[in-house]
Amino acid sequence: MAKGKSSKRTFGRIRKLPSGRYQARYLGPDGIDRPAPETFATRRDADDWLAEKRTEIQRDEWVAPEVGAIPLEKYALQWVDERDLSATTEELYRRLLRLHIVPQIGDLHLDEITAPRVRTWRAERLKVTGATTVAKSYRLLKAVMETAVEDELIRRNPCRIKGAGKESAAERPIATVGQVDALADAMGPRWRLMVYIAAFGPARPEEQAEMRRSDADLDAVGVWVRRAAPELTTGRRVVGDTKSEAGRRFMALPAFMEKDLRRHLDWYAEKEPDGLLFVGERGKPFRRSTFGRKWRKARSKVGLPDGFRFYDLRHTGHTLSTQAGATLKDTMVRAGQSTERAALIYQHSNLQRQREIADALDAKVRAEREAAARQGHDEDPSGTQRARGG
């Protein structure tokens, strides 16, 4: 009986080396003979590797090995350079690369960054830094590797950890109206208006840094937000557009702020028609470092927790506006906080509606102040309440 012929290999070649290990190689679509980057312990392992390469070619997913032989550090820095990023975003990306990505995996080639390697890198980062920073770093790495896929340098993005890019920041604290008033008093007359605009506008610090005398409207009791000047970690301010198109807006302020707005224009704003609304004691743009020292002292004096940031006054403003009757649509427009998609949804909140919200906010603040004053009158110097009506 004739013996059956063994099936002849139709793709690639395998040979046994003197060491006993096996070498596999195949002819790539580019006509170049391609050896496996490593040898295999068994013929079956070598055969499996060839089968994988054959499948990649059949599915048009094959990538020449040398194409992905670009160090991540080089590719990621070029990725940042080629994007039209805001100054603060570029600074953030470069810091994340410098501190959390490049030291750990920056010397690996793009095609060496596998899903298991990404999982290991993320797990190691979570042991030494905060979850929010790791989430930001993961999102950046994922974006860089996705571009590498689009550039056909790698077949598939190795960043495939579900939920790894999501941030779950703790709920930010809010201040009461009384605490906002106390903060304004503790910061002093030069910075009083800034506290109120942050809380009752509400405006971002970088928006206030670029407010001009011409942006203030005493008749309408409000201020225009047209530009922003975020401060980088180097101390340099970068004047440019607002965070989004929705950030360009008129902020109708509560009527009780007219006096503070008028007084600030008379006493502290630069005198030129387009002069800065807020400047330091020496007549120069305020700096985060010096302002921060004043803020920490005021916060301590008022008794707010150490984690309460100046930026948290915006959250206070959101909450108070909602309590005053503002819808989510109104609040988003008022705060200038939206993506391009959200801007289309929220753009129907007009100036008249913003005025109504400011008036309602004015009434709410006045009512809380009057209630606090009445409570104070009902207490004797020792702090105990007197009985009413008798």
Handedness of CA 72, 75, 80, 83 (dihedral sign): negative
The residue with greater pLDDT, 324 or 144, is 144
The least confident of 44-58, 229-243, 289-303 is: 229-243
Rounded to an integer, the average pLDDT of 318-345 is: 69
Rounded to an integer, the average pLDDT of 283-307 is: 91
Q: Is the pTM of this model over 0.75?
A: no
C-alpha separations of 173 from 131, 278, 322 in Å: 20, 26, 16
For residue 305, is pLDDT > 70? yes
Supply the pLDDT for residue 8: 64
* Cα angle for residues 240, 265, 292 (degrees, 5° grid): 60
Q: What is the pLDDT of residues 52-67, one digit of tens each?
A: 889 988 888 787 777 7
Rounded to an integer, the average pLDDT of 214-237 is: 91
Look up residue 279 and give its DSSP letter: B
For residue 349, is pLDDT > 90? no
The tokens describing 95, both together, are: 């810091």
In this prediction, residue 180 has a pLDDT band, given cuts at 50, 70 and 90, of: very high
Supply the pLDDT for residue 5: 42
Supply the pLDDT for residue 133: 95
Within 13 A of 344's CA, how many CA atoms are on the CB side? Answer: 2
Distance, in Å, from the CA atom of 38 to the CA atom of 19, rounded to the nearest integer, reads 13
Rounded to an integer, the average pLDDT of 68-76 is: 90
Peptide bond into 65 cis (omega under 30): no
The amino acid present at 355, given as its one-letter code, is R
CB 70, CB 110: distance < 8 Å: yes
For residue 4, is pLDDT > 50? no
Rounded to an integer, the average pLDDT of 198-224 is: 94
Distance, in Å, from the CA atom of 237 to the CA atom of 383, rounded to the nearest integer, reads 47
For residue 390, is pLDDT > 60? no
Supply the pLDDT for residue 330: 81
CB 179, CB 316: distance < 8 Å: no
CATH of domain 177-377: 1.10.443.10
For residue 244, is pLDDT > 80? no
Rounded to an integer, the average pLDDT of 33-52 is: 91
- Beta-ladder partners of 250: 224
CB 184, CB 195: distance < 8 Å: yes
Within 13 A of 361's CA, how many CA atoms are on the CB side? Answer: 32
Look up residue 11 and give its DSSP letter: S
Domain range summary for the chain, segments of one domain joined by +: 13-55, 68-150, 177-377
The least confident of 61-65, 87-91, 123-127, 247-251 is: 61-65
The tokens describing 174, both together, are: 């809010």
* 44 class by beta-carbon count within 10 Å (0-12 exposed, 13-18 middle, 19+ buried): exposed
Distance, in Å, from the CA atom of 125 to the CA atom of 123, rounded to the nearest integer, reads 5
CATH of domain 68-150: 1.10.150
Supply the pLDDT for residue 224: 94
Rounded to an integer, the average pLDDT of 343-360 is: 65
Percent of the chain with pLDDT over 70: 90
Comparing CA positions, the residue from 45, 49, 48 lying closest to residue 35 is 49
The tokens describing 290, both together, are: 């010096």
Look up residue 2 and give its DSSP letter: P
Angle, helix 351-377 to helix 328-335, in steps of 10 degrees: 90
Look up residue 228 and give its DSSP letter: B
Handedness of CA 167, 96, 86, 212 (dihedral sign): positive
CB 109, CB 69: distance < 8 Å: yes
CB 227, CB 210: distance < 8 Å: yes
Supply the pLDDT for residue 331: 78
Distance, in Å, from the CA atom of 117 to the CA atom of 315, rounded to the nearest integer, reads 39
Q: What is the pLDDT of residues 98-156, one digit of tens each?
A: 999 999 999 999 988 999 999 999 999 999 999 999 999 999 999 999 999 998 888 88
Supply the pLDDT for residue 350: 60
Q: Using the structure block, give the residue that is written with the tokens 């960043």.
A: 159
The least confident of 73-82, 135-144, 352-361 is: 352-361
Supply the pLDDT for residue 379: 65
Supply the pLDDT for residue 362: 93
The tokens describing 165, both together, are: 């890019």
Residue 308 phi/psi, 5° resolution?
-80, 115
Comparing CA positions, the residue from 196, 246, 200, 224 lying closest to residue 360 is 200
